[in-house]
A and B are shown apart, each in its own frame.
Chain A
Amino acid sequence: MAVTAVFMLWLRDLVAVIMLSGIYSLFAAMIYVVMDAVDVAFTEAAVGAGVATVLMLGTLALTRQGTEKVHKTISWGPLSLVLVTGAVLIYGTLDMPRYGDPNAPVHSHVAPRYIERSASEVGPPNIVTSVLASYRGYDTLGETAVVFTAAIGVLVILGRRNRRQRKKAKREDAT
């Protein structure tokens, strides 16, 4: 997965970069399955490898730029910034709970209640669904609204000019 990401950094051909980002998403989906998050893997595979790739290719076709401009030099400023940030973050992980530790703080607060009582309080055997739709209904409502707003935003940015052009074309046809 990391190898795919680094290749995406080096490649100049944008089509190849976008294809690699699809592959990267599939790898991520596999990792989610290994970590027991089947719902998430499902979404990632459908979204990352499917819809996002098509949209990016669409943008590429619209902007008609096959390859990126070549910058020969490695930019040292950003690189050192990235290295420092990475080092600080890795230092920060030294105190984190170990992978798969059942006593980690994440697992001690709300999650046990969801796992123990969702069957009697909500019903569906898939806990993720009952958390998503019932316990955290407000969150999901908000997220649905965000998706809605994003679609409206795309329409506002790209849609209107197009309608005017269509009207113009109609008028030209009529005359």
Chain B
Amino acid sequence: MSDVFPGLLNYWIAIVLMMVGFYIVIAQGNLIKKIVGLNIFQVAVFVFYISMGKVKGGTAPILGEGIDVYSNPLPHFLILTAIVVGVATTSLALALIVRINTSFGTIEEDEILELEHADDAKEETS
């Protein structure tokens, strides 16, 4: 147990954060809050990756004299680009939300669905 507890804690933290984000995404109706939830999920995945790249006793992967152990640079590179791509796609989602708001006048999921159903019903009767 002493082997399992501190050694796996980093994964558990990432999983708890991931699940909080997941819950926000599927249970909350507000679209902006859903995006925030997606961001939490995203950062949880980043933390997971970076914690895998850590080597005990290692330093940041910048070459210097007298240093032999470096952390793994590959996850760092992957996450570095993923963060910037993440913010770009987030802004795309936010743009869609603004557009939805101009069309429907609301950013609550259930209200949008109601409006949609009302529209459908109108089309059927006419």
Contact = CB atoms under 8 A, between A and B. Distances in A.
**Do any CB atoms of chain A lie under 8 A from CB atoms of chain B in the complex?**
yes
Interface in A135-154: 136, 139-140, 143, 146-147, 150-151, 153-154
Specify the main secondary structure of chain B where it touches its partner. helix
Given A35-B71, A51-B87, A153 B92 contact: yes
Contacts, number: 254
Report the 6 A-B pairs with minimum CB-CB distance, sorted nearest first: A98-B7, A100-B56, A150-B88, A78-B27, A36-B71, A127-B61
Categorize the interface residue count of chain A. 35 or more
Specify the main secondary structure of chain A where it touches its partner. helix
Interface in B48-91: 50-64, 69-77, 79-81, 83-91
A35 B83 contact: no
Interface of A: 1-2, 5-6, 8-9, 14, 17-18, 21, 24-25, 28, 31-32, 35-40, 43-44, 47-48, 51-52, 55-56, 58-60, 62-63, 65, 68-69, 71, 75, 78-79, 81-83, 85-86, 89-90, 93-94, 96-102, 104, 106-107, 110-111, 114-115, 118-119, 125-128, 131-132, 136, 139-140, 143, 146-147, 150-151, 153-154, 157-158
Contacts of B62: 38, 125-128
Given A35-B54, A104-B52, 8 more contacts: A6-B20, A14-B32, A63-B98, A82-B19, A102-B69, A127-B63, A127-B70, A157-B98
